[in-house]
């Protein structure tokens, strides 16, 4: 039985070393795209981790709000005013501010994000926080982020072992003397590109930690819960039309999208990640073009011979596109495998949610195929000019 092996494959593997180098080059481009997408997803998911866990329907912030790491306070009166609108069931205040947490082992101080709210109300949809709300009602008790970066010391490990008895000091940025709090429990939220770790306290403890940072009536975020069956769009439009313009009102998805837009457009890291993804695609087109063009140049006489015995340009062009597709698929496989390992390493090193997703896997596969097909389309110009009479 005769087995037909495609001409495209035979030409690619004729020079095995060049073929392996070509696949490795494309695999490297695949790896670059996966790394860029992985960090980009980690940027957005970590920046909106708190948004996704807020237990509410609508969210009130200052009109000067840019992001959670660049917050502006507003009057709590605005939040209470929303209780007069039809459909609004309850409201909750949230205080947000950076402070310095003293490592209990090394004594070094590191910036940490402090979240304060009334523990009598369920504001965060985090199981560990729900379980420890009663502990937050005790003065000067905090919940520590077990997924925070390592510079804060082994607070989570010491708590789990029952060895953390002494209070931990928290310092406002404008203070020399710290405020002592005790660890009452742990929760998981994790760091982001702008936050190294988080801790949660009651609103009263928050104000004692930061006694001179703001007037008591100034809050950073308002969480609004609607009555069952209330039309969220109608309530939202009513609030936007009737509340003063010194506040903004978002649905959850609008709040998340606003935060993503800030990190994508208004920060250097967002611009760099977008630029690097574009550059990886451009470099990929150039590399694959060089591979295919070199292969065409090497096999030029063979192509001319095929044209001499009656094969049309369309057949030869199809061979080049087949080569582009083969290179795309074979280069994708090692790039995908190596990316999974690098994701795991980067996630452990940075504590950021860098994970492989099916959407990214499909997106990079399609992008790799398009890059290779585009390169093939650019490389076939030399093939179109193949003249049998000039080759013999």
Mean pLDDT of 117-125: 92
Domain limit, last residue, from 195, 212, 244: 244
2 inside domain: no
Residue 384 pLDDT: 60
Residue 295 pLDDT: 74
127 inside domain: yes
> CB within 8 A of 252, min separation 6: which ones?
51, 52, 54, 56, 57, 59
Tell me the backbone φ, ψ of residue 137, rounded to 5 degrees.
-70, -20
Residue 46 pLDDT: 94
298 inside domain: yes
Tokens of 188: 């998981």
- Using CA atoms, how far apart are residues 126 and 54, in angstroms rounded to an integer? 9
Is pLDDT above 70 for 303? no
Listed as own residue / partner, the contacts of 294-298 with beta carbons closer than 8 Å and 24 or more positions apart are 294/18, 295/11, 295/12, 295/18, 295/323, 296/320, 296/379, 296/380, 296/382, 296/383, 297/382, 298/15
Mean pLDDT of the chain, nearest integer: 87
Task: Kindly state whether residues 39 and 81 are assigned to the same domain.
Answer: no
Domain limit, last residue, from 210, 229, 244: 244
* Banded model confidence at residue 308, pLDDT cuts 50, 70, 90: low
Angle between helices 268-298 and 252-265 (to 10 degrees): 70
- Check if the beta carbon of residue 128 is closer than 8 Å to that of residue 62: no
Task: Kindly state whether residues 235 and 287 are assigned to the same domain.
Answer: no
Task: Kindly state whether residues 186 and 149 are assigned to the same domain.
Answer: yes
Write out pLDDT tens, residues 344-388. 999 998 899 999 999 999 999 999 998 888 888 777 766 665 555
- Using CA atoms, how far apart are residues 368 and 284, in angstroms rounded to an integer? 8
Task: Kindly state whether residues 84 and 207 are assigned to the same domain.
Answer: yes
- Check if the beta carbon of residue 285 is closer than 8 Å to that of residue 292: no
59 inside domain: no
Task: Kindly state whether residues 41 and 72 are assigned to the same domain.
Answer: no
Mean pLDDT of 118-141: 93
Strand partners, 335: none
Residue 112 pLDDT: 95
Mean pLDDT of 139-152: 94
Task: Kindly state whether residues 86 and 225 are assigned to the same domain.
Answer: yes
* Banded model confidence at residue 3, pLDDT cuts 50, 70, 90: very low
Domain limit, last residue, from 182, 212, 244: 244
Task: Kindly state whether residues 233 and 280 are assigned to the same domain.
Answer: no
Residue 277 pLDDT: 83
Task: Kindly state whether residues 95 and 213 are assigned to the same domain.
Answer: yes
Residue 163 pLDDT: 76
The residue segments making up the domain with residue 168 are 64-244
Residue 103 pLDDT: 92
- Check if the beta carbon of residue 330 is closer than 8 Å to that of residue 23: yes
Residue 1 pLDDT: 42
Is pLDDT above 90 for 164? no
258 inside domain: no
Task: Kindly state whether residues 304 and 231 are assigned to the same domain.
Answer: no
Task: Kindly state whether residues 179 and 295 are assigned to the same domain.
Answer: no
Residue 265 pLDDT: 87
Residue 198 pLDDT: 96
Residue 284 pLDDT: 83
Averaging pLDDT over each range in 160-164, 275-279, 358-362, which range is the top one?
Answer: 358-362
Quote the number of domains for the chain.
2
Number of neighbours of residue 76 by Cβ within 10 angstroms: 17
- Check if the beta carbon of residue 226 is closer than 8 Å to that of residue 58: yes
> CB within 8 A of 253, min separation 6: which ones?
none
Mean pLDDT of 261-269: 88
Task: Kindly state whether residues 37 and 77 are assigned to the same domain.
Answer: no
- Using CA atoms, how far apart are residues 250 and 221, in angstroms rounded to an integer? 11
Residue 267 pLDDT: 85
255 inside domain: no
Task: Kindly state whether residues 42 and 89 are assigned to the same domain.
Answer: no
Write out pLDDT tens, residues 167-218. 899 998 877 888 999 999 999 999 999 899 999 999 999 999 887 777 888 9
> CB within 8 A of 5, min separation 6: which ones?
none
Higher pLDDT, 362 or 300: 362
Percent of the chain past pLDDT 70, that is, above it, reads 91
Mean pLDDT of 86-100: 94
- Check if the beta carbon of residue 220 is closer than 8 Å to that of residue 95: yes
Averaging pLDDT over each range in 20-34, 134-148, 313-327, which range is the top one?
Answer: 134-148
| Burial call 25-39: b when 16+ CB within 10 Å, e when fewer | bbbbbbbbbbbbbbb
- Using CA atoms, how far apart are residues 331 and 20, in angstroms rounded to an integer? 9
Q: Locate all alpha helices (DSSP H) within the chain, ordered by sequence.
A: 7-13, 16-47, 49-53, 76-81, 127-131, 133-136, 155-161, 203-209, 232-242, 252-265, 268-298, 300-308, 313-350, 358-384
Higher pLDDT, 215 or 3: 215
> CB within 8 A of 349, min separation 6: which ones?
none
56 inside domain: no
Residue 176 pLDDT: 80
Q: Which of 24-38, 225-239, 281-295 comes out lowest in average pLDDT?
A: 281-295
328 inside domain: yes
């Amino acid at each position: 039985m005769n087995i037909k092996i495609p001409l495209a494959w035979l030409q690619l593997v004729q020079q095995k070393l060049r073929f392996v180098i070509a696949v490795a080059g494309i695999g490297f481009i695949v790896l670059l795209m996966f790394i860029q997408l992985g960090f980009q997803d980690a940027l957005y998911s970590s920046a909106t981790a708190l948004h996704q866990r807020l237990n509410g329907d609508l969210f009130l912030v200052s009109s000067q709000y840019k992001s959670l790491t660049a917050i502006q306070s507003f009057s709590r009166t605005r939040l209470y005013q929303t209780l007069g609108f039809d459909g609004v069931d309850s409201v909750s205040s949230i205080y947000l501010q950076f402070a310095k947490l003293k490592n209990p082992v090394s004594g070094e101080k590191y910036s940490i994000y402090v979240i304060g709210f009334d523990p009598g109300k369920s504001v965060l949809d985090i199981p560990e926080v729900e379980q420890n709300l009663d502990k937050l009602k005790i003065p000067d008790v905090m919940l520590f982020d077990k997924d925070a970066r390592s510079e804060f010391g082994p607070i989570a490990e010491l708590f789990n072992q029952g060895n953390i008895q002494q209070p931990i000091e928290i310092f406002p940025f404008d203070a020399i003397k710290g405020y002592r709090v005790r660890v009452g429990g742990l929760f998981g939220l994790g760091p982001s590109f702008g936050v190294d770790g988080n801790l949660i306290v009651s609103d009263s403890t928050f104000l004692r930690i930061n006694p001179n940072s703001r007037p008591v009536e100034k809050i950073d975020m308002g969480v609004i819960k609607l009555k069952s069956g209330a039309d969220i769009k109608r309530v939202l439009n009513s609030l936007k039309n009737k509340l003063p313009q010194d506040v903004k009102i978002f649905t959850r998805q609008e709040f998340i999208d606003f935060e993503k837009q800030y990190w994508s457009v208004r920060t250097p890291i967002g611009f760099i990640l977008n630029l690097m993804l574009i550059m990886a695609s451009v470099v990929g087109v150039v590399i694959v073009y060089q591979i295919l063009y070199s292969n065409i140049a090497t096999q030029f006489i063979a192509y001319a011979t095929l044209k001499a015995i009656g094969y049309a340009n369309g057949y030869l062009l199809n061979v080049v596109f087949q080569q582009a597709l083969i290179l795309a698929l074979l280069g994708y496989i090692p790039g995908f495998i190596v990316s999974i390992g690098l994701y795991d390493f980067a996630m452990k090193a940075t504590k950021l949610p860098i994970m492989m997703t099916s959407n990214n896997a499909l997106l990079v596969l399609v992008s790799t195929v398009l890059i290779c097909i585009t390169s093939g389309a650019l490389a076939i110009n030399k093939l179109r000019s193949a003249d049998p009479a000039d080759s013999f």
